[in-house]
Structures are given as C-alpha cells and as structure tokens.
Amino acid sequence: MAHHDRGSGMKYMLAGGSVMAALGLMMDIGGLMPHAAPKKEICQEIVQPKAILSRDQLTQLLSVSEGSDKAQIQQLVKTPYCRLPDIQAQVGAIAQREAYPLAFDPQTWLVILYEGNTYAGYAFSFRH
Amino acid sequence: MLVMRLVSVTKLLSLISILISVLLAGCGSSSNNDEPIKLQMYQQWQLKPGDAVKGFQVLGGLGDISISLNGKSVYAPFDGRAQRDPQNCLIFSSPDVPAYLFRLCGLNDLRLGSHQQGAPLGSASILHFATLRKQPDGTWAIVEPSKPIIERVLSQT
C-alpha cells in the first residue's frame, strides 16, 4: 500500500513538473518574441467582458473537426468576449470571428472563425 | 479512490497537452527561421507556380490572380507572419484570421517573419495572389480571392 502511494505521488510530481516546465517555456518564449509591442485592439464589439475559456472547454473545442456545425462549437464555448469585424477572404463567404481569452493565460486569445453555420477553424492570438 | 486518481491524472495529462499545443502555436507565430513551409494542397494540379514547362518557369497557376505592380510594394493585410514555401512564394498567415492563408508569388525581396498590419512584405513587377482555405482533412484549397483582401494587400492600411 505504501509502495502504491509512493508510485502515484511520483506521477503527480512528474505531471506537475511538466506543467511548470511548460508554463516556464511559454513565459520565456513570450519574452523572446520579436515584436513585443502591444497589439492594437481588434475587437469591433465587446459581447461579454468577463468571458473566458476554461481548459476543459479548450480541450473539447480542439477535438471538434473543422467543418462542423457552428451550433456545436457555440454550445461548448458559450458567449465570446468580443466579435472581430466580419471579413470576406473568399468571394461569397462572409466570415464571422469571435474571440475568447484563455482562463490560464488571458493575454492569449482563441479566435474562432465561422462562415454561415459552419465552423471553419481557430487560431491562438498572442499579447492582448 | 483509484478511479478518482486516474481521472485527475487524465485531467493533468489533457492540461499538459493543451499547454504544449498553445506553446507550439506560440513558437509557430514567433520564430523567424527561414525554413520553407510545405503546404498539403487540396487540389493536385499538374502545374503550379515554380514548376517548369519546356524549361520555362511557371509564374502563376489556376486560382492565382495576377496583378501588374510595376515594382510597387505589397503589405501585410493583417497582423501576422510571412513565411516562404519551397517555390519561394510568400505565405502570409494571421492568428486573427483562422482557416485562411494568403500566397503571394512573384515577389523580389521577401520580408519574412512577424509583421504588423500594413508592413511591407516585398515588391513585384507582377504579383500572383492566391487565397487558401483550410479543409476539414487538413489540406489547403485554393479559393476565389475577394477584392477587399487584394485591396488590403495593395495598400498600406
């Protein structure tokens, strides 16, 4: 029993250590970014000033394939922090974009792009 | 008890994988190395920019809009990053515009790396411009580029 406890304690230590290492790396990389100037505001309309995306929500979102229904994504991520201006990169496809600060790193935003009722993709936008 | 432990270990592992994916995305948008990126294209056309026919170089392909620039500059349409592909075309990506890439062929002096919107990306006598959209299978399809995006590329907004 004691042996078993030590084994799982080790697992926690390893897992915790990896998380700390990952966080440390993220901070280093932030400092090394060539253009550290603050980004200009990209929101067109603030929807929910307190909106953030939890780890669980992010994990679930990453498992949804591009091309899925917008409703499926919106059920997962709820109300966005803000909307970006609509853009039309492709003729005939008006893209709506919504942004969510990450709960564990609010300076990083997840930007989601929809076209009509289709979820087209996401990207991580840094330094907000 | 054991089940609970397993659940929390699984949670920790998923957290780690998220952190790593965020981290990788971070590296992707911040590193300025000159390694060309190779995109998996949705259309498998016989001739693409950079190919040769009878020893003559192909400058633009199906899906490219060719614009006479007479040596004028093109500009970053959004905040984002310029990379080059193996054909030495510039591939522009922006975290503010998920699911899309912009390909600019024919530029003389590629300015790679991170750019703010409006930063010069290079100049060309003839620009061959294509818009690529990510497909659910991960490939990139050439789609019809909209005029507003081309206008952003041609003016320092």
Whether ipTM exceeds 0.85: no
- 8-state DSSP, A57: H
Asked whether residue A111 falls in the same domain as residue A61, the answer is: yes
Asked whether residue A104 falls in the same domain as residue A54, the answer is: yes
Give me the number of domains chain A comprises.
Answer: 2
Asked whether residue A78 falls in the same domain as residue A19, the answer is: no
Asked whether residue A67 falls in the same domain as residue A30, the answer is: no
CB contact under 8 A, B149 and A89: yes
Total H helices, total E strands in chain B: 2, 11
Question: Would you say residue B127 has pLDDT above 50?
Answer: yes
Average pLDDT score over residue span B132-136? 96
> How confident is the model over A4-25, as pLDDT tens digits?
555 566 666 666 656 555 554 4
Q: Which residues pair with B74 in a beta bridge?
A: B122
Instruction: Return d(Cα B131, Cα B125) in angstroms, integer.
Output: 20
Instruction: Return d(Cα A114, Cα A120) in angstroms, integer.
Output: 5
pLDDT confidence band for A109 (50 / 70 / 90) = very high
Asked whether residue A26 falls in the same domain as residue A63, the answer is: no
| CATH class of the domain defined by B52-154 | mainly beta
pLDDT of residue B89: 96
Q: What is the CATH number of the domain that holds A45?
A: 3.30.1450.10
Asked whether residue A84 falls in the same domain as residue A45, the answer is: yes
pLDDT of residue B96: 95
Asked whether residue A101 falls in the same domain as residue A115, the answer is: yes
Asked whether residue A60 falls in the same domain as residue A102, the answer is: yes
Question: Would you say residue A86 has pLDDT above 50?
Answer: yes
Asked whether residue A74 falls in the same domain as residue A103, the answer is: yes
Asked whether residue A11 falls in the same domain as residue A61, the answer is: no
Report the chain B residue with the minimal C-alpha distance to residue A111: B96
pTM over 0.90: no
Closest Cβ–Cβ partner in B29, B30, B98 for A122: B98
Would you kindly state where each structural domain of chain B is located, as residue ranges? 52-154
Report the chain B residue with the minimal C-alpha distance to residue A67: B136
* Sequence letter at residue B52: A
Q: Which of B65, B64, B109, B101 is nearest to B80 (CA)?
A: B101
> How confident is the model over B64-79, as pLDDT tens digits?
999 999 999 999 999 9
Instruction: Return d(Cα A83, Cα A63) in angstroms, integer.
Output: 23
pLDDT of residue A20: 57
- Enumerate the residues of chain A whose CB falls inside 8 A of the CB of residue B9: 11-12, 15
Question: Would you say residue A31 has pLDDT above 50?
Answer: no
CB contact under 8 A, A55 and B14: yes
Q: Of chain A residues 57-96, which have a CB less than 8 A from chain B? A: 58-59, 62, 65-67, 84, 87-93, 95
> How confident is the model over B103-125, as pLDDT tens digits?
999 999 999 999 999 999 999 99
A123 touches chain B (CB under 8 A): yes
CB contact under 8 A, B98 and A121: yes
Asked whether residue A77 falls in the same domain as residue A30, the answer is: no
Determine the structural domain holding residue A10 and report its residue range.
1-36
Report the chain B residue with the minimal C-alpha distance to residue A112: B98
Tokens 């490939």 identify what position? B139
Question: Would you say residue A30 has pLDDT above 60?
Answer: no
CB contact under 8 A, A123 and B131: no
Asked whether residue A25 falls in the same domain as residue A62, the answer is: no
The answer to whether B90 touches B110, Cβ cutoff 8 Å, is yes
